[in-house]
Amino acid sequence: MRVMERLWANADAAFRARILAALPADSAVVLLDVGCEDGAWTERVRRRIGIPSDHVHGLEIAAEQARRARARGFDVQIGDIDDPWPFEDASIDIVHANQVIEHVKRLDHFMRETRRVLTEGGHAIVCTENLASWHNVGALLLGYQPFSATNISSCRRIGNPFALHGGEPVLEEPLQHIHVITLKALRDLYSVHGFKIEAQWGSGYHPFGGRIAARLAAFDPNHAHFVGVAARRDA
């Protein structure tokens, strides 16, 4: 359990570093963080870009999380990602979504709204868990649900497969992973909606860790734990 938690934490740190590296440094841009939670990660993104707080917008479904993000000086709207987004056409330069797209019910709606709010030439940066990661493939070969798509009921789900109690998976409230997709599918989704892929990456490569995992994920991102793309909105 501790080994897997450490592998996950290392992969998480690695993909966040890749997100930050993909962001432009431009004090004039306007950022939208979709699913911004309490704004802690949004703040790191803001500082990396070098924009003031009033250039940052957020969309968050949980009112308490939105309140905390607003306390950081961000304009955060409360709303469901699957509904129309409360932002003007062509008003955003960067749409950022970190581990959000797997919770979306209407992927085409998500893509259309991303394109609608972006300026021409604006960027979308998204990172998600990878259905084709080797630990998910291994789970399927053994007859188990993929670790990244374990919810099979709208009421409760099999919890973190590494969090065991008495040898049995712990039942938790649903994480509501709706669409867990591969890197190739993520690229295709953005391409078909009029985006040009400018960068892609993977991080984490279970069961390996450290430098070995980093090298393997760089060589074979299609089977990494997390995958991400940076895409530009075409005219």
pLDDT digits (tens, 9 = 90+) for 5-62: 888 788 889 989 999 999 999 999 999 999 999 999 999 999 999 999 999 999 999 9
Range of the domain at 226: 2-233
Residues 160-190 as b/e (b if ≥16 CB within 10 A, e otherwise) read bbeeeeeeebeeeeeeebebbbbbeebbebb
pLDDT digits (tens, 9 = 90+) for 165-217: 344 444 444 457 888 999 999 999 999 999 999 999 999 999 898 899 999 99
Give the C-alpha distances (Å, rounded to integers) separating 125 from 6, 47, 49, 95, 134: 25, 16, 13, 6, 24
HSE value, Cβ hemisphere, 13 Å, CA-based, for 33: 30
What SS3 class is residue 101? helix
Looking up residue 112, the CATH number of its domain turns out to be 3.40.50.150
Cα 209 to chain center, whole Å? 21
Could you tell me the pTM of the whole model?
0.87
Total domains in the chain come to 1
